[in-house]
Chain A
């Protein structure tokens, strides 16, 4: 791993100077820290991906199959036939540049090829050359260029500097969506055996065992049991989950980030406390142990291969409906792809009804899956949860809208409603309006690129987000960054540690878990992270000393 420069240094070097040479003549600079490693052949074999081989991004020879060019062009033709989006997006861009300074990677790197318009042009130029008359006849002057190995390498470089966040598509007057093109571009790269290790390892593990982290069923249970014990230790409340239990009312599916590592685990503890509090008849599955879907980051098909496990398991366990945890891309897939992948409304499930409030989730009538924020907001609205907001008094929060739940679903009010219910008044502050809600900035590491070897590009991609976080930290003393996304909880801590030291990341259900008042619970002196609550522990003592 290359050494990451100091934040000031990295930021100072952001330059928006365009190169002297035209973009067709500039090759990407594969500096360590800017790219993800090639996928190990093992992962490719696990999922039956073509051309598994050991190769290295840094080397000149990528060991492409001899007919790689034909494969890519045939793949492009096939995708043009199957996706109207691709055709339209290739044909109608006017290069107005409205998307340019909307991309977090462009704002972070200043590299003109990270303007979505030009990133798309990297592929569009090949489309023009082989699929349009003008491009065939006029070549470069029509914006067309031959598909060469350099062009392919450029795709690989820049299609992994797009996190499929769709911010560009929000501002595009025609809704041209780089995310869609990146996805299809990555599919084409995969067709000649060009995959990144971080994404494909997660995919293969999830495919083979049940979750991105590759936990076996028994290991999954261990992790969950541990978190339940933690709950008991801190709150005195036992929250034993059940596993693979047939006939449970609800199947709860969460991203593996929520039981794998801090701070996601605290959110998992929050879920368990919440479900225990309301007595929800739910079960966890060791098979559908992953709500997240790195498969969708590499291809539409792989997305489906991982996603169908959720409905399959719901069918096997004969549950009534599915409840989904806090996760961004999981919900983009669940919202915009899942029933379509399945092909029909899953008839073995029922229209979700909250057993506590009786609320019928009519907006999930076909999908049969409810978002935890909707579910919780409904409980709060009906007065079913008793909170002691003072237990969150040490948390001054701002909320990061995740790209996928924002621009691929539209869930903005529910988490805010929960936040305002579990935090003391005045403890929630919004970031500047151009950086939240539908205009939210990506964490910079989504879509399978949250590896370690590309840390520099991750920090640059996350700079616009961090910049807004730093603003509220300096101005309002915000100390926590809340989110409803497990990838955020995995990547934002690294990001804010780098750019905004002193900032912590938290899931929203963790805050719910902190604030829930159980009958017969232990007196709470710490939050779920074992940090002293206000009025307890050392913090209080020093405060008293200060008063004297």
Chain B
């Protein structure tokens, strides 16, 4: 099996296997394991893993201030800088926070994305030329995916809270604005699934992406697709006892876990995949979420020339001093009329003569 197929099938197999485990588990009456132990364990691993990961990153210092300067820097006072320039090449902490906010909330760098293609020169068919154009689809797919996921997570808070906070009602009505189908279709779930499928499809369809993709790239996408599909199936087609689910969730949230009767296997499959996602998060590429905050090329201002940056492990280095070089070439330097620190022997005797 070739590299791509192997990595894809391992990821697919893992997700299907996880669903099967949950399914069998529930049939074997292990509700306690999948309804209580797994989520607690997952949250524990998530929290600990995240702390571990952050500490591990934070323990390494940032020796140099190396922001990627993406616009005109602060310079002479009359050189104008637009708002965009100030955000893309921030001169102080305030603007750096702005840059980070734009990066994290609006995926600024991805928005810059271009596509380049090699084409035949329209004039001279023997030549080829590169053509560049703005390409926003990856940005759109990514932003749709992340925001839809956020809304879905927030929506699920109603399972864990009693009474559900007010903003959730607003969110639900916004999310269900289409007023289509019964129960009302939540746009976020559909967008999440569509965006995840888009991100998966581009990995599988584009040759160069297929070439670089690893199981670790397919697995989280398939996992999230699995979560979305089981969730959608449960909400619209194979309904489960929603009151019992809320009882379970509330029990977990209040640390008084109960395992109510009447919850379908489909729910446990959905729930188990979510648990796996949580546990997997800190140890995988999904750690890009906290990691981006620590990215030295983004989270530092471009103020090197007017604010000293100290490298905590800076050490003295061996270099050739001026005197070493003068010692080597003193005579010739003197003859060439270059000033020297110490006159050469010939000059001294010459002076005496």
Contacts and interface: CB of A to CB of B under 8 A. Distances in A.
Contacts of B304: 335-336, 339-340, 366-367
Interface in A357-398: 359, 361-367, 369, 374, 377-378, 381
Interface stretch (B53-61, B241-249, B255-263): B53-61
Contact of A362 (B10, B132, B306): B306
Interface string A95-111: 11110111000010000
B93 interface: no
Contact of B68 (A83, A121, A210, A407): A407
Contact of A170 (B70, B78, B128, B129): B70
Q: Which of B126, B130, B288 has the most CB of A within 10 A?
A: B130
Interface in A1-26: 8, 11-12, 14, 16-25
Contacts of A313: 322
A98 B70 contact: no
B19 to A, nearest CB: 20
Interface in A301-321: 301, 304-306, 308-309, 312-313, 316
A96 B138 contact: yes
Residue among B71, B211, B309 with most chain A CB within 10 A = B211
B203 to A, nearest CB: 8
B173 interface: no
Contacts of A238: none
A166 B126 CA distance: 32
A308 B319 contact: yes
A97 B80 CA distance: 34
A377 B76 contact: yes
A488 interface: no
A410 B325 contact: no
Interface in B287-338: 287-288, 291-292, 294-298, 302, 304-311, 313-314, 317-322, 325-326, 329, 332-333, 335-338
Contact of A174 (B59, B216, B298): B298
Nearest to B295: A175
A244 B341 CA distance: 10
Interface string B269-294: 00000000000000101011001101
A533 interface: no
Interface residues of B, number: 104
A173 interface: yes
A185 B317 CA distance: 20
A82 B61 contact: yes
Contacts of B70: 170, 407, 410, 438
Given A305-B318, A340-B64, A11 B127 contact: yes
B113 A98 contact: yes
Given A88-B57, A88-B295, A363 B319 contact: no
A467 B130 contact: yes
A96 B216 CA distance: 12
Contact of A309 (B6, B74, B76, B319): B319
B72 A366 contact: no
Nearest to B337: A221
A475 to B, nearest CB: 11
Interface in A390-421: 406-414, 417
A112 B208 contact: yes
B265 interface: no
Contacts, number: 335
Contacts of B325: 209-210, 217, 286-287
B57 A84 contact: yes
Contacts of B56: 87
B3 A24 contact: yes
A301 B320 contact: no
A173 B109 contact: yes
Contacts of A361: 76
B76 A359 contact: yes
A300 B288 CA distance: 26
A413 B215 CA distance: 45
A91 B285 CA distance: 6
A171 B113 contact: yes
Interface stretch (A65-73, A341-349, A505-513): A341-349
A177 interface: yes
B17 interface: no
B96 interface: no
A511 B297 CA distance: 34
A463 interface: yes
Given A22-B2, A134-B283, A413-B75, A112 B212 contact: yes
Interface stretch (B114-122, B160-168, B232-240, B345-353): B114-122
Contacts of A171: 109-110, 112-114
Contact of A366 (B7, B62, B78, B305): B305
Contacts of B78: 381
Contacts of A18: 207-208, 210-211
Of the candidates B76, B314, B325, the one having the most CB atoms from chain A within 10 angstroms of its own CB is: B76
A141 B333 contact: no
Contact of B63 (A83, A133, A246): A83
Contacts of A438: 69-71, 88
Nearest to B60: A84
Contact of B112 (A133, A170, A343): A170
Contacts of B311: 340-341, 343
A115 B208 CA distance: 9
Contact of B76 (A335, A344, A374, A471): A374
Contacts of B208: 16, 18, 97, 100, 112, 115
Contacts of A363: 73-76, 305-306
Contacts of A48: 318
Choose among B2, B116, B214, B326 the residue with the greatest number of A CB atoms under 10 Å from its CB.
B116
A118 interface: yes
A244 to B, nearest CB: 5
Contact of B338 (A172, A217, A309, A366): A217
Contacts of A244: 338-339
Interface of A: 8, 11-12, 14, 16-25, 48, 80-89, 91-98, 100-102, 107, 112, 115, 117-118, 121, 133-134, 141-143, 166, 169-177, 180, 207-210, 216-218, 221-222, 243-246, 286-287, 300-301, 304-306, 308-309, 312-313, 316, 335-337, 339-341, 343-345, 359, 361-367, 369, 374, 377-378, 381, 406-414, 417, 432, 434-435, 437-439, 463-464, 467-468, 470-471, 474
Given A82-B63, A91-B291, A434-B114, 18 more contacts: A24-B3, A87-B56, A94-B285, A100-B208, A101-B114, A101-B116, A112-B208, A115-B212, A169-B297, A309-B322, A340-B310, A341-B311, A343-B310, A363-B73, A364-B306, A407-B69, A411-B73, A434-B134
Top-5 shortest CB links A-B: A22-B3, A410-B73, A92-B291, A410-B69, A175-B297
8 contacts: A21-B3, A82-B63, A177-B296, A217-B325, A244-B339, A335-B305, A340-B64, A377-B76
